[in-house]
């Protein structure tokens, strides 16, 4: 028998949940190819180690951009590799796949995701809205007649949704998330310190000393190495959390503004439920220092960070697959 799988096809990472086993794979969404032969050389963690360090004929590609497929063939190759690595196919059967997508994608983008999953070895492929699945994975009971709010900050998109009776009442998906934070840090280092750094260094700065809220982390310092923008020579400098806070707050402010927009359009009864129940933060962005305090202060509503923010979408997809009889037909979307 094939094991059914839930996939969080993220811009930064792919996570796969096997029914009955839990999250069985978590690897970067990166594929290294030889541009001369178009051959896939490495996928996932192995390919990520090559980012910024490859000779001219090898390209490390991220086939998803802003939560959607930007390179179909590479996405299919990546998914096929991950699925075959798991050995979830049965002798005669293929796994059913539940895959997640941002709430505002187009019909063409939806079809591309379903097709990539089918071609990589799925029997039936179901598509669900990411914030709905994330809320289920975070342990929220979204099937009762009460308002639940989830903010899912991923790599390529931030999805904000209000859920009630198992469906999305209001939502917004913006293409501003972890990748934009990294880009903002890269620009900050270049403009303020004349130091050129790569995406991986920016990610390390964000994780180690990044803060969404001016707090006691302000004393944290970190040595950053890169290339001097003027001389072109290697150089290292010390930076503090306080220094890079403006680079982070600019991006986080846009996510807060999107959350306010969603709250402004919901019925008063749901708004009152959310004041009672609070907001659930999930996705990799939920791990940014002080992010819960920022949202609490700006939205005037209690904010809770999910227990395993990185796993919630994959987990929720697995839970929905286990109850597939109730979740509807192929390609069903969780938004209105």
Which residue ranges are tagged as binding site for ATP? 11-13, 155-157, 203-206, 284-287
Question: What backbone torsions phi and psi does residue 27 show, to the nearest 5 degrees?
Answer: -135, 155
Question: What backbone torsions phi and psi does residue 280 show, to the nearest 5 degrees?
Answer: -100, 125
State the distance between the two ends of the chain, measured CA to CA, in whole angstroms: 35
- The conformation of residue 20, written as its DSSP 8-state character, comes to T
Tokens of 68: 């959607």
E strands, the chain, where? 5-9, 13-18, 22-28, 31-34, 39-43, 58-61, 64-65, 68-69, 97-101, 125-129, 148-153, 158-164, 167-174, 195-196, 221-228, 234-240, 279-282, 303-305
User: Reduced to 3 DSSP states, what percent helix, strand and coil does the chain have, rounded to the nearest 5?
Assistant: 40, 25, 35
317 within 8 A of 98, measured Cβ to Cβ: yes
Question: What backbone torsions phi and psi does residue 174 show, to the nearest 5 degrees?
Answer: -120, 145
**Residues whose CB falls within 8 Å of the CB of residue 329, separated by 6 or more in sequence, listed in order:** none
**CA–CA separation, 207 vs 203, rounded Å?**
6
**CA–CA separation, 139 vs 148, rounded Å?**
11
Task: Detail the residues annotated as belonging to a binding site.
Answer: 11-13, 155-157, 203-206, 284-287
Q: Quick one: which of 246, 224, 243, 244 has its CA closest to 235?
A: 224
Q: Quick one: which of 118, 112, 155, 161 has its CA closest to 140?
A: 161
**CA–CA separation, 144 vs 154, rounded Å?**
26
**CA–CA separation, 335 vs 168, rounded Å?**
5
């Amino acid at each position: 028998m094939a094991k059914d799988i839930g996939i969080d096809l993220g811009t930064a990472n792919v996570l796969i949940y096997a029914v009955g086993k839990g999250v069985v794979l978590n690897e970067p969404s990166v594929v290294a190819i030889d541009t001369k032969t178009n051959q896939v050389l490495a996928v996932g963690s192995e390919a990520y180690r090559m980012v910024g360090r490859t000779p001219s004929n090898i390209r490390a590609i991220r086939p998803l951009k802003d939560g959607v497929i930007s390179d179909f063939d590479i996405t299919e190759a990546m998914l096929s590799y991950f699925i075959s690595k798991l050995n979830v196919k049965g002798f005669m059967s293929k796994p059913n796949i539940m895959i997640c997508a941002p709430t505002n994608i187009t019909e063409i983008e939806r079809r591309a995701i379903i097709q990539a999953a089918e071609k990589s070895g799925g029997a039936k492929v179901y598509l669900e809205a990411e914030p709905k699945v994330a809320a289920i994975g975070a342990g929220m009971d979204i099937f009762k007649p009460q308002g639940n709010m989830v903010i899912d900050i991923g790599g390529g998109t931030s999805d904000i949704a209000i859920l009630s009776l198992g469906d999305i009442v209001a939502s917004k998906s913006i293409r501003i998330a972890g990748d934009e934070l990294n880009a903002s840090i890269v620009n900050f280092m270049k403009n303020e310190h004349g130091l050129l750094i790569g995406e991986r260094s920016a990610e390390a700065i964000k994780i180690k000393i990044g803060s969404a809220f001016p707090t006691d982390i302000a004393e944290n310092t970190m040595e950053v190495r890169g290339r001097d923008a003027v001389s072109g020579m290697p150089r290292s400098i010390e930076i503090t959390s306080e220094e890079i806070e403006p680079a982070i707050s600019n991006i986080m402010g846009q996510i807060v503004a999107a959350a306010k927009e969603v709250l402004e359009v919901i019925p008063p009864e749901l708004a009152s439920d959310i004041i009672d129940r609070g907001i659930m933060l999930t996705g990799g962005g939920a791990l940014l220092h002080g992010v819960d305090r920022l949202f609490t202060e700006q939205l005037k509503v209690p904010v809770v960070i999910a227990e395993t923010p990185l796993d919630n979408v994959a987990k929720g997809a697995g839970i929905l697959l286990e109850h597939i009889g109730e979740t509807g037909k192929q390609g069903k979307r969780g938004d209105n």
